[in-house]
Amino acid sequence: MKGIDYNGNYSFKKGRYKKVFTMKDAIQSCKDALELYSRGKSDIPLRINIDIPNQDAQSLYMPGYAADANALGVKIISVYPNNIKKGISTVPATMVLLDNETGEVCSLIDGTYLTRIRTGAVAGAATDLLSRKDSKIFSLFGTGGQAEEQLEAVLTIRDIEEVRVYDINPENAETFVKAMNEKFADKFKVKINSVKSPDEAVKDADIITAVTTSKKPVFDGKLVKKGAHINGVGSYTPDMQELDEYIICNADKLYVDTRDGALNESGDLIIPIRQNKFSEDRVTGELGELIMGSISSRENEDEITLFKTVGSGVLDIVTARRIYERALKEKIGQFVEI
């Protein structure tokens, strides 16, 4: 590597920056990012979502600026389901980080992995702040590209003893479980198993995460036990709905990453609002407001808490800036001459 300075252009791929930026780092980064957002110290427009009908795809653009974090940039991310037939990523992405003092591009970061780690980390942050400390059973719905980081985040902040994995495709679930046992079972001293039904997954679960692209609820909210915590991660468009109206309406406290994003983009909230079963004023608040101390957290062991995230550019720019600074310090990355 040569010419290390903040005006250089650097490219970081998963294998490189994962060595210097852990899940714990990412969880703290997401907490800091959401606090900046809720304090009004960031400029984060709603993502631009462009439909690509002839490919049954979407192209999304997520710009943002957070002065206190020296973070400026835009993540370009696409969702191309048919790419699986071509043997390439179905969610290709690139993070373009800019020098906030000059406006020049200073880094290109693997946006696909950035999305995975910050999405896992923001659910991990919510789980850390809201779930019971004695949580032992974790249920994970979905085994797609973001599932591994969702699992790692929860294992990182809670002493989980049993993980139950459910996917509508049993073969995918088995493949995922085998890979995750090889990766995490010994490190975290946890049993990871696939289950045959949503009911089996939810029964007595302390923490539940849904990270799917489903347009209908993936489990029965009436089966969620008292004291459980739920992360709704997958629904990011108005017609996507992982969580049923019952759990949305009956959770004791419901938090979002950003009101602007969750209430305008997620079918988990939009659908029950349109059906007059739920209203915006029943949202407890943003996770950043909880971190600030302006709203309350879990108040007793029986409360059911729910966190809904659709993702926000503030998570990307702050996390990307932290990765960039850490990688420069550790001299990890590829210098790109333009």
Same domain assignment for residues 196 and 306: yes
Q: Which residues, 6 or more positions from 69, have their beta carbon under 8 angstroms from its beta carbon?
A: 32, 33, 36, 317, 318, 321
Indicate the DSSP class of residue 208.
E
- Whether 120 is covered by a domain: the verdict is no
SS3 64: strand
Q: Is a pLDDT exceeding 90 seen at residue 188?
A: yes
Same domain assignment for residues 306 and 321: no
Same domain assignment for residues 218 and 327: no
pLDDT of residue 181: 97
Q: Is a pLDDT exceeding 50 seen at residue 6?
A: no
pLDDT of residue 304: 98
Q: Taking each helix axis from N to C terminus, what angle separates 23-38 and 111-130, rounded to the nearest 10 degrees?
A: 80
pLDDT digits (tens, 9 = 90+) for 130-179: 999 999 999 999 998 899 999 999 999 999 999 999 999 999 999 999 99
- Whether 182 is covered by a domain: the verdict is yes
- Whether 1 is covered by a domain: the verdict is no
CA angle 111, 115, 120 (to 5 degrees): 155
pLDDT of residue 84: 81
pLDDT of residue 335: 73
**Which CATH number fits the domain that encloses residue 72?**
3.30.1780.10
Same domain assignment for residues 99 and 173: no
Same domain assignment for residues 196 and 252: yes
- Whether 325 is covered by a domain: the verdict is yes
Dist. CA 271–CA 154, nearest whole Å:
28
- The confidence band for 41, taking pLDDT boundaries of 50, 70 and 90, is very high
Same domain assignment for residues 215 and 297: yes
What is the pLDDT averaged over residues 16-31? 87
Sheet of 71-79: strand order equals: 48-52, 57-66, 71-79, 93-98, 105-110, 10-12, 334-335
Same domain assignment for residues 101 and 132: no
Best-predicted range by mean pLDDT (24-33, 49-58, 325-334): 24-33
pLDDT of residue 325: 92
- Whether 2 is covered by a domain: the verdict is no
- Number of domains making up the chain: 2
Same domain assignment for residues 90 and 134: no
Q: Is a pLDDT exceeding 70 seen at residue 4?
A: no
pLDDT of residue 10: 46
- Whether 66 is covered by a domain: the verdict is yes
Q: Which residue range is the domain that position 131 belongs to?
A: 125-311
Same domain assignment for residues 156 and 241: yes
Dist. CA 5–CA 233, nearest whole Å:
37
**Which CATH number fits the domain that encloses residue 213?**
3.40.50.720
pLDDT of residue 271: 96
Contact 103, 189 (CB under 8 A): no
pLDDT digits (tens, 9 = 90+) for 190-245: 999 999 999 999 999 999 999 999 999 999 999 999 999 999 999 988 999 999 99
- Whether 177 is covered by a domain: the verdict is yes
- Whether 96 is covered by a domain: the verdict is yes
Burial of residue 46 (number of CB atoms within 10 Å: 0-12, 13-18, 19+): middle
pLDDT of residue 275: 94
In percent, how much of the chain has pLDDT > 90?
82
Q: Which residue has the tokens 């957070």?
A: 66
Same domain assignment for residues 259 and 158: yes
Q: Is a pLDDT exceeding 70 seen at residue 67?
A: yes
Same domain assignment for residues 136 and 55: no
pLDDT digits (tens, 9 = 90+) for 264-275: 999 999 999 999
- The confidence band for 89, taking pLDDT boundaries of 50, 70 and 90, is confident
pLDDT of residue 320: 95
